[in-house]
C-alpha cells in the first residue's frame, strides 16, 4: 500500500486531462488522500454517478495502492 502524491496526481491528471485537481496526503503516510476533481464532464450527473466515474478511472490504484480516499467532485 501507499503511493507518492506526485504519482497519484499524475495518474488522475492523465484520466481527467481537463480537470482542476487537488491531491492532499491527509495523514502524511502516502496512504490516505483527499482528492478533489473539478471537471465539466460531471455536469448534470448525480454525485453517485460522478464518484463512480472516478472509482472506475482509478480502480487499479484504489484496489492496489491506497487504503482510503476522501473524494470531492464538482463541475
Partner 1 sequence: MRDINLEIDNIVKNNPVTLFMKGTKDFPQCGFSAVVVQILKNLNVDFFDINILSDPELRQGIKEYSDWPTIPQLYINGEFVGGCDIVKEMFQSQELQNLLKEKNII
Q: Which three cell numbers stand for residue 51?
A: 464518484
Distance CA 35, CA 50 (A): 13
Binding flag, residue 48, partner 1 (CB under 8 A): yes
Binding flag, residue 68, partner 1 (CB under 8 A): yes
Binding flag, residue 55, partner 1 (CB under 8 A): yes
Query: Minimal distance in Å, beta carbon 75 to partner 1?
Result: 14
Q: Residue 32's CB: how many other CB atoms inside 10 A? A: 16
Distance CA 5, CA 53 (A): 21
Binding flag, residue 72, partner 1 (CB under 8 A): yes
Binder of partner 1 out of 51, 53, 57, 65 (CB under 8 A): 51
Amino acid at each position: 500500500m501507499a503511493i507518492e502524491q506526485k504519482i497519484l496526481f499524475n495518474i488522475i491528471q492523465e484520466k481527467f486531462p481537463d480537470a482542476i485537481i487537488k491531491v492532499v496526503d491527509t495523514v502524511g503516510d502516502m496512504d490516505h488522500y483527499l482528492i478533489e476533481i473539478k471537471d465539466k464532464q460531471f455536469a448534470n450527473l448525480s454525485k453517485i454517478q460522478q464518484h463512480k466515474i472516478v472509482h472506475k478511472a482509478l480502480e487499479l490504484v484504489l484496489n492496489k495502492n491506497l487504503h482510503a480516499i476522501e473524494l470531492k467532485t464538482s463541475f
